Amino acid sequence: MKIICFIIALSFFACAQSVSTELKNCQKVNPTTQGCLECFNIATSQWDSVLNIAYKELRNKLAPPLQEKLKLSQTAWLSFRDKEISFLNDAFAYNQKTTGSEVQLYRSEYVMNLTKDRVLLLQEYLKGIKDISEDGSP
């Protein structure tokens, strides 16, 4: 599956829409459990790329003291994400013994959504900052 957006050429807003569309298309073409797992893995990687764009774009809009606070926030989120994935891996590994491969799909979707949700949050921050700059307000 090729991502439509080229990370440097388009804004992360367009990239985010592209990831969602490509995930749906991938799952239509690959409806098996293994195919859907592959689609989620690809989408997770793409969301991670879009996250990097969103973070950099937001960081560039901020004054240095706020850039440092954003960096601390992002570092804390990355730690949370990693701990959450570790928990999910353990919890779903236990459940898979009794419920089968469907659990793998849930786990993969949850992992993808962790990054997707962070992207959408950074997008909202950026919208707010753009609105402030358009008003001329600090």
Query: pTM score, two decimals?
Result: 0.80
The residue segments making up the domain with residue 74 are 12-126
Whether 108 is in a domain gets the answer: yes
Q: What would the pLDDT profile of 123-133 be if each residue is shown by its tens digit? A: 999 888 865 54
Whether 92 is in a domain gets the answer: yes
Q: What would the pLDDT profile of 74-128 be if each residue is shown by its tens digit? A: 999 999 999 999 998 888 777 666 566 778 888 899 999 999 999 999 999 988 8
Q: Count the domains in the chain.
A: 1
| CATH number for the domain that contains residue 22 | 1.20.1270
Whether 6 is in a domain gets the answer: no
Own/partner contacts of 122-129, CB < 8 Å, gap of 24 or more, are 122/51, 122/54, 122/55, 122/58, 123/12, 123/13, 123/16, 123/54, 125/58, 126/54, 126/57, 126/58, 126/61, 129/58, 129/61, 129/62
Whether 94 is in a domain gets the answer: yes
Whether 136 is in a domain gets the answer: no
Whether 134 is in a domain gets the answer: no
pLDDT of residue 89: 87
pLDDT of residue 12: 59
